Each structure stands twice: as structure tokens, then as C-alpha cells.
Amino acid sequence: MAAKPGARVSEAETKKQLEDFGDEILQDVKKGKNPKFTTLSRAKSNIIFNEKAGFLSLGSQSEERNFLNIAQSKRFMQTIAIAAKCHKFVKENLHTSIRGLFYQLKYSLGEDIDENIFNEQAESNPLIEDLEAALSTKRESLNLNANRRGVLAGNLRVIDNFGNERTETDTSKLGRSGWAIPSDVDNDIEFTDVKAKYVLVIEKDAVWQRLNEDGFWKKENCILISPQGQATRGTRRLIRKFADMDLPVYVFNDGDVWGWYIYWTIKTGSINLAYIGNEIATPSARFIGVTLSDMKRYEFLKNMTMKASEGDLKRCQEMLEYQWINKHKEWVEELQNAIKLKVKLEQDTLQGPRLTFIDDYIKDKIKNKEFLP
Amino acid sequence: MAAKPGARVSEAETKKQLEDFGDEILQDVKKGKNPKFTTLSRAKSNIIFNEKAGFLSLGSQSEERNFLNIAQSKRFMQTIAIAAKCHKFVKENLHTSIRGLFYQLKYSLGEDIDENIFNEQAESNPLIEDLEAALSTKRESLNLNANRRGVLAGNLRVIDNFGNERTETDTSKLGRSGWAIPSDVDNDIEFTDVKAKYVLVIEKDAVWQRLNEDGFWKKENCILISPQGQATRGTRRLIRKFADMDLPVYVFNDGDVWGWYIYWTIKTGSINLAYIGNEIATPSARFIGVTLSDMKRYEFLKNMTMKASEGDLKRCQEMLEYQWINKHKEWVEELQNAIKLKVKLEQDTLQGPRLTFIDDYIKDKIKNKEFLP
């Protein structure tokens, strides 16, 4: 029943998954049994760091959801309603957001059963995750669009079979704009003619624009991606897809808790999305900078730091406790250094001496393989 | 010295503007006079609603900034430093963000003069506005990129002369992604072969994606834009450019204070950006919905409302006091209704009955010219 992780899920397959899911429940009902389904626990106790593979995933702890259980019956029914809606969306070949799904549920169930059955979207969100984990699929394959954000430029082509029309985009020909990374980079979409040597991920769109103007990706033959802040599911999945094509992935972020967090969610995945960690984490990613030790080589950076807040320092301490971080002595050093110096350093600072200084900084780091793991 | 509002500013022109600005100050210095320049006051008292033109702009109240004034000398010097940097960027033909500018200033001035001269970016931001207003230009023409956000699909071509390379993008061929609206839509960029009949602006990207999937812009021959929340300077300016091509502009937002605010900033501009109101406001814009009176025609919407918070209701009251809003009896009615019913209504609700219901809703509204002014 489960789709092979990372494999492209066809609409027919997803439809079948949902139908099998419904059939099993229907069989229970017909046999007079308590209808139920099994999903993986997403509780903290079942989130494990897969040391060998290098990403956060769910353990084997499963959970049963069943109807004849006073604590579960409402959620059970809601999940079935969600599955039915997704089945309809897949059949219609139409997509919507989880907000759109919420209002469809509210519309369909509002009058027939109980006007409060889906009062808050917060109620439906964890149930979508229940369903994703139960089916070993991603919401994108259930025709639910996640938020999108992120931009790309580089020597490759995107072939997009979207809404019964096929478009081809050469992402080296999009000028100042770049290519907007969509919600779903798996279904009915392909990335071909990938001629780049590596992927460079830049936290801030403003810095991406700077490098795009310099034609950095052209001169260096890389794929230039900005998640435009925290990376969305789509952007993380796309980075992983390039890594699966054996491209090295280098991440260039702010030297602060937020920049580090963005890096670690790209590299090892996140606790919230551990249930799809095997598809969106890129364990091979490396951190280019900005690092606090950059201040040793580039004197001027000492005058460019900002004061870290108490919250920042607390977060540094927390990060030091994560086994996927503290297993790297280089990161322990970086974080301890941040706590000691009480400063942070933005990637924009590298435009200080001249706007194109940042280009040379990145090239040097890559040439000398000066990364944090 | 001032550029004609709305006109494309060439690099040579901007360079000349900045040089004239510097020359005048230099002349003062040479003559032993107190160096000074004049800008427009951006104080509340000088923000006027231009009734006839229909947008917020600055009045004629000007302000002098001069060096030999203990309260102004630091700011005066900082502004000159900003102008010098922008002159350099224009000469180099390179762009950066206001954060990049801040670090360039910090780098150049940090050691020579006073290490605290630009300690906070908050210090440099109003000075950039001083300079924009003094030169009657926009920061985009000074090679400063503003934040960008927003997406577009439709039958038109973008010709982008960017970084010494010319690219042409057919925005009807970008599949699920759409075209990412850049920071600067005026300089070295053209919009040609605009074949659409109108512009439809959709507050939420999720709803934009829904309509894009339906090929709404293709069937209706319109330009489909989402500002993806509050409209950036670039997105507002682009909407205005289409309006200048005599395209009607319809805005489809949430029926709540945030949705209304986004509409009014597109239509009349905003208090913060009144100094460039004549370039970014689109007074001809009309509001399609969601309106509270939609609940009369579409019964199901009554079950889809959300409770308005105290803050929402307070904001409604404030909006009722703006002359550019309360001059329209339809808006007074809508806002009073919202206060009375204490509810708000999201645009996503229109996906309740079926995902494509929203398409018909919009078509009906446009066909019947059912807009709020």
C-alpha cells in the first residue's frame, strides 16, 4: 500500500491508496467490527534521529485510530471525511490548500451532522498528517498544496504537465525574477538537462538577487536557490531531489539561531516533518557560512556583528543538546563561540567592502572546502 | 531635476540627479555657506488625500536639512553618505538591498569617523526616504532593491534587460509557478504584447494557485496577480502600470480588516508611501469581494464566517474615519455591517461547495459589475 519513498506517485496510485484505505474501514463496518486504521505515532517519543541515514524520522511506534472510542470517534470521522475529500480532489484532478479543504469540510458536514464538526482549521491539520503517515504519502500527492516560497536560477529545464497543459521553462532565462518554486515538485513535473556542478542555497532573497545580478550561477555553473527564509516543504524536497542527482548542496545563511535552524531543517529535516523526513531531508548538505570564525580571516566583520538576545543564547544551548548537532565538534565549537561572544553575524555583512565581495567569499569557501558539516 | 512621475528613469538621468544634488552641497561648502538640501515633509500634517486624483500624496510642505544644525548634522552627513553610495551603485550598474547599503555604510564610515554612525538600519531607512523625496525619485531607480513578493500569470511578455543580458518571458508559459514579480518593474524592463482585458488581483497565493490551475486567466483573458498578502512596492507599481494601459483592475480579497487594508493600499496608496503615491496608487481599482452582503446571495456563507476580534472592530472604526473610505457610502455600509455582525469572511470560503465555485463567483461579479468602489 505504501508508496516507495521518493518515488513519483501517480494519480492512479494515490486514488488506489485512498480507496484501499476506505475499503478496509468499510469491511470492518460490514463485519460489525470496530472500524479502525493504523498510523505512525508523531509523538516526541517516536521521533528518532536516524544516525546512519542522517535525518529525523518516525520510529516504528504505531497508533490505532478507531471509531468506537469516545476520545477518538470525532477525530476518526473527521479523518475519513478528509480522505473522502482528497479522493474527490484526486479524481477531479484539482488541487486546493488545506484551508480550501477545511472550508469544503465545513460546507459538507456543517449542516448534516454538527455545525461545530470542523470549527477550527487547527483541528483538521493534524488529521491530514495522520492520513499522510497512515498512507506513507505526502499531502502534495493528495492534491493538497502546501504554502510555497523560494526561487531558483540555473542551467536546467522544468517540464510541467499542469492543468492539462505542458510547459517547458528554461530556468537560465528568467532574468531578475528567477523561477518560483512551487508547492509540489514531484507530481507531473520533471527537472531535466541539469548541467550544474552544485547547488547553492542562500537564506535571504535579497542576497540571492545580488548574486543573480552578478550571474554567479552562470559563471560558477551552479543552481542558485533561495528558500526566502525558512524553507518550505516544496523547496526542501527540491533541494533533496538535486542531492539525489549527486549534486553537492552548500547552504549560505546568517550566522545566527535562525540561519542555523534553516540549515538544520534542510539537512536533517525537522521534528514537525519527521514523518516525511526520508523525502525532504538532505543529509549531504554543508554549511558555508557565515561563521563566527570568519571574523578571523575578514577583520572588518568584527565591526559588523549584532548583539545576540537572551533568547538567541538560550536557543544556542538547546541546539547544543540535539544529538544530530552535537555529534559534530565543529558545530559544538561554533555554538559555544556564539554563546561566549554573545554576537550574531548576517550574511549581508559580506557586501560591506564591495557589493561583489560576497561572490569571492563563497567561491573561496567552496574552493577550499571550508564547510561546517 | 525631478523625474516625470511614472516615467522610466534611465541610469544616466539618475546619475545626473545625484551629481547635481552633490554639486549644490559642494557649492555651499565652497562659498562658506551652510550646506543644505530640501526635501518634502513626510509628517502626518503634510499627507493629503488628493481628492481629484484619488490617492494619498505629500502636500507642498518642504523641509530643509542642513549641516550646521546640531539636531540635524549627523542625519545630514548620513544622507550625503547614502547619496554617495547610491551614486556608486548606479555607476557600477549593481543593485543591493537597503540592508546591503546599511552594511556598506557601516564598513566605510565605521572606522574613519565614528563607530556608531550607522548603528541601526532603522537610522538609514528614513534617510533613504528623505533622499527619494528630495530627488523626486524612487529607491528602485537608486539601485536599491525593495522586498519583493507577488506572482503573475497571463497573456503578455516581459522583456528584461538584466545584468547585461536580455531575456524574454512569456508569462502564459510558466505552468504552476507563474512569474515572480521583481522589486523593480520600471528600469530596464518592459511589458509588451499585453492582450488581456482586465487585471484580477487575488490576496492569497493559495487561491491564485487554485485559479491558475483552472486556467482562469486563459479562459477569461485576464492577468492574474497575487500580491501574496500585502502588496509590495513592486507589485503595486506593476498593477498601476497595467491600469495606465487602460486595463480595469479588480481586487478579490478576504472580507476582513487585513483584506480591506490591502485593497486600499493598492487603490489609494498608503500613508507610509504617500511620497510615491503618484506612482504606486491605482485609483481605478475596484473591490470584487468577499463582501458581507455576499451572504445574502450565497446562503452557505453564513456558516463560514469567523468571529471578528476586538482589534478588528476597532480597526473598522478607524477605517470609517478615513475620508478616502467614508466618501463611499457602499464602504460605510460594509464597515458598519462588519461592526454590527462582528464577523469576517475569508475568500477561501468560496471553495466550499466545489473547488471551481470561486471561478463562477468572480465571473458573475465582473459580468454584473458588482463591485465596491
Name the 3-class secondary structure at B344.
strand
| Residue B7 CB-half CA count within 13 A | 11
Q: Which sequence positions of A are flagged as catalytic?
A: 103
Cβ within 8 Å, pair A160-B148:
no
**List of chain B residues whose C-beta atoms are within 8 Å of the C-beta of residue A92:** 355
B176 is in which domain, residue-wise?
151-367
A4: pLDDT strictly greater than 50: no
Contact predicate A192/A157, CB 8 Å: yes
* Assigned domain for A372 exists: no
What pLDDT is recorded for position B142? 96
Name the 3-class secondary structure at B215.
coil
> Which regions of chain B are under pLDDT 50?
1-7, 115
CB pairs under 8 A between A and B: 184
Indicate the residue of B94, B107, B303 with minimum beta-carbon distance to A110.
B303
* Assigned domain for B295 exists: yes
Cβ within 8 Å, pair A206-B99:
yes
A71: pLDDT strictly greater than 70: yes
Please indicate, yes or no, whether residues A223 and A176 belong to a single structural domain of this protein.
yes
A12: pLDDT strictly greater than 90: no
Whole-structure pTM value: 0.95
Phi, psi of A267 (to 5 degrees): -75, -55
What pLDDT is recorded for position B109? 74
What pLDDT is recorded for position B324? 96
Indicate the residue of B99, B165, B303 with minimum beta-carbon distance to A106.
B303
**List of chain A residues whose C-beta atoms are within 8 Å of the C-beta of residue B184:** 176
What is the Cα B19 distance to its own chain's centre? 28
Torsion sign, CA atoms A133, A136, A138, A139: negative
* Assigned domain for B27 exists: yes
Rounded to an integer, the average pLDDT of A155-182 is 96
* Assigned domain for A155 exists: yes
H-run or E-run covering A289: strand A286-289
Q: How far is Cα A246 from Cα A255, in angstroms, rounded to an integer?
A: 27
Cβ within 8 Å, pair B163-A214:
yes
**List of chain B residues whose C-beta atoms are within 8 Å of the C-beta of residue A346:** 99, 103
* Assigned domain for A5 exists: no
Select from B212, B204, B293 the least CA-distant residue to B251.
B204
Cβ within 8 Å, pair A99-B346:
yes
Chain A: give the shortest CA distance to residue B182, in Å. Answer: 5
Please indicate, yes or no, whether residues A239 and A348 belong to a single structural domain of this protein.
yes
What is the Cα A177 distance to its own chain's centre? 22
**List of chain B residues whose C-beta atoms are within 8 Å of the C-beta of residue A99:** 206, 346, 348
CA nearest A173 in B: which residue?
Answer: B167
Phi, psi of A319 (to 5 degrees): -65, -35
Name the 3-class secondary structure at B31.
coil
Tell me which of A177, A290, A347 to substitute to probe the interface with B (most B C-beta atoms closer than 10 Å): A177
Chain A: give the shortest CA distance to residue B50, in Å. Answer: 34
Interface predicted TM-score (ipTM) of this complex, two decimals: 0.94
What pLDDT is recorded for position A120? 72
Cβ within 8 Å, pair B167-A160:
no
Indicate the residue of B145, B176, B349 with minimum beta-carbon distance to A162.
B176
Q: How far is Cα A169 from Cα B16, in angstroms, rounded to an integer?
A: 39
CA nearest B104 in A: which residue?
Answer: A352
What pLDDT is recorded for position B2? 37
Select from A215, A217, A189 the least CA-distant residue to A201.
A217
Cβ within 8 Å, pair A104-B355:
yes
Indicate the residue of B176, B189, B206 with minimum beta-carbon distance to A99.
B206
Indicate the residue of B94, B213, B348 with minimum beta-carbon distance to A99.
B348
CATH number assigned to the domain comprising residue B67: 1.10.10.10
> Which of B89, B117, B145 delimits the end of a domain?
B145
Please indicate, yes or no, whether residues A91 and A169 belong to a single structural domain of this protein.
no
Cβ within 8 Å, pair B206-A96:
yes
Q: Cα angle at A356 between A353 and A362, to 5 degrees? A: 100
Residue B92's CB is within 10 A of a number of other CB atoms, namely 12
Cβ within 8 Å, pair B176-A160:
yes
Cβ within 8 Å, pair A304-B103:
yes
Please indicate, yes or no, whether residues A102 and A168 belong to a single structural domain of this protein.
no
Q: What is the pLDDT of residues A100-140, one digit of tens each?
A: 999 999 898 755 555 456 667 777 788 999 999 999 999 99
Residue B150's CB is within 10 A of a number of other CB atoms, namely 26
Total domains in chain B come to 2
Cβ within 8 Å, pair A97-B355:
no
Alpha-helical regions (H) of A93-120? 98-110
Please indicate, yes or no, whether residues A39 and A70 belong to a single structural domain of this protein.
yes
Contact predicate A41/A61, CB 8 Å: yes
* Assigned domain for A373 exists: no
Chain A: give the shortest CA distance to residue B28, in Å. Answer: 30
Please indicate, yes or no, whether residues A48 and A128 belong to a single structural domain of this protein.
yes
Chain A: give the shortest CA distance to residue B239, in Å. Answer: 17
**List of chain B residues whose C-beta atoms are within 8 Å of the C-beta of residue A85:** none
**List of chain A residues whose C-beta atoms are within 8 Å of the C-beta of residue B178:** 180
Q: Specify the DSSP class assigned to residue A142.
A: G
* Assigned domain for B70 exists: yes
Cβ within 8 Å, pair A210-B96:
yes
Indicate the residue of A169, A173, A355 with minimum beta-carbon distance to B96.
A355
What pLDDT is recorded for position A83? 96
Please indicate, yes or no, whether residues B135 and B267 belong to a single structural domain of this protein.
no
Indicate the residue of A100, A106, A178 with minimum beta-carbon distance to B210.
A100
Cβ within 8 Å, pair B176-A184:
yes
Please indicate, yes or no, whether residues A218 and A241 belong to a single structural domain of this protein.
yes
DSSP states along B143-198: TEEPP---EEESS-EEEEEETTEEEEEETTS-TTT-EEP-S-SSTTEEEE----SE
**Peptide bond preceding B290 in cis form (omega within 30 of 0):** yes
Q: How far is Cα B148 from Cα B136, in angstroms, rounded to an integer?
A: 22
Chain B: give the shortest CA distance to residue A140, in Å. Answer: 13
Q: What is the share, in percent, of chain A residues with pLDDT greater than 70? A: 95
Q: What is the pLDDT of residues B306-346, one digit of tens each?
A: 999 999 999 999 999 999 999 999 999 999 999 999 999 99
Please indicate, yes or no, whether residues B232 and B92 belong to a single structural domain of this protein.
no
What pLDDT is recorded for position A8? 52
What are residue B168's DSSP bridge partners? B159
Q: Cα angle at B127 between B126 and B129, to 5 degrees? A: 65
Please indicate, yes or no, whether residues A217 and A127 belong to a single structural domain of this protein.
no
Q: What is the share, in percent, of chain A residues with pLDDT greater than 90? A: 88
Catalytic site residue from B103, B198, B261, B322:
B103
**List of chain B residues whose C-beta atoms are within 8 Å of the C-beta of residue A146:** none
* Assigned domain for A3 exists: no
> Which of A110, A145, A180 delimits the end of a domain?
A145
> Which of A100, A128, A145 delimits the end of a domain?
A145
Please indicate, yes or no, whether residues A119 and A41 belong to a single structural domain of this protein.
yes
Q: What is the mean pLDDT of chain A?
A: 93
Please indicate, yes or no, whether residues A39 and A183 belong to a single structural domain of this protein.
no
Chain A: give the shortest CA distance to residue B335, in Å. Answer: 24
Rounded to an integer, the average pLDDT of A252-275 is 97
CATH number assigned to the domain comprising residue B279: 3.40.1360.10
Please state the length of chain B: 373
